Amino acid sequence: MDLREVEHDLGSLIDGNILTMESMKKHTSWRIGGPADIMVIPAGVEDIRQCLRFAREREIPLLIMGNGSNLLVKDKGIRGIVLKISQGFNQIGVRGNDIVAGAGALVPLVAKRAAEAGLSGLEFAAGIPASVGGAISMNAGAHGKCIEEVVRRATVLTPEGLIADLNKEEIGFRYRDSSIREKGLIVLRAVFALEPGDPADIRTRNETNLVKRRNSQPLEYPSAGSVFANPPGQWAGWLIEQVGGKGMRVGDAMVSEKHANFIVNLGEATASDILKLVERIKRLVLEKFNIDLKLEIQVVGE
């Protein structure tokens, strides 16, 4: 693939930004990852349509991403095009008791806007470092609640470039997952169904949840949140702690001393370091508990 040619030809079709050989360290919460051949930051829906068509016609691999808070990019980077849904889709509005938010809006900002409007229901999400699109795709959750509980519907773009409105059932929510990625859908915006409440009380619950997060998670280091999904009836962090995982280290990747289901980047960690640590943890938990831990993060690239 001739990157200059792709950049030129794609640039004639879209209004958004195009970056070549863009380091994914800048776009993931782990601050890890090699370069993406081409990164497109679309300005609107038509840019996404053009990018989908362009990639399909030229048979170029295409990866859709949001805030990069659940993503491990391998050290050689990503071949093809990365489509990052961000500032062109970050609008947040209030419609009655609903919040309407673009897929690129950050979930904590949506929760803050809901509090300002006196709308309750998103307090649990005040500290989730994801975009709305990513949070819906992975059914993000915290404090025993998840996005599924407050979504009324989502507007998506199909692989064919058609816009469709999906209700909660059609999104196909599962534990820390949905049918969005497997169907090749791109979330454009979502409507959250909330309840009227006292703004001061809602802000207090937001702050309480943020304090809990600061006290229980290693926010002083780059991470991707929970690395492993909780097995049925178990807590992944507890299992990892029981096999001596806390403080385990490969290079600059370390299992957090504060929360064993977090692997933190102490400074110069590579994706290879993270994956070696993941395999070591999986092996120890399998040997001791006969439980095969499943990743909650998405691993991409080469």
Q: Which two tokens stand for residue 302?
A: 């080469």
Q: Measure the CA–CA gap between 110 and 128, rounded to whole angstroms.
A: 11
Is 176 marked active-site? Answer: yes
Is 296 marked active-site? Answer: yes
CA angle centred on 104, ends 101 and 108, rounded to 5°: 70
Which listed residue (69, 120, 226, 256) is catalytic?
226
Which listed residue (176, 203, 249, 280) is catalytic?
176
Residues written for the chain = 302
Phi–psi pair at 140, nearest 5 degrees = -60, 150
Which listed residue (22, 137, 223, 296) is catalytic?
296
Question: Known catalytic residues?
Answer: 176, 226, 296
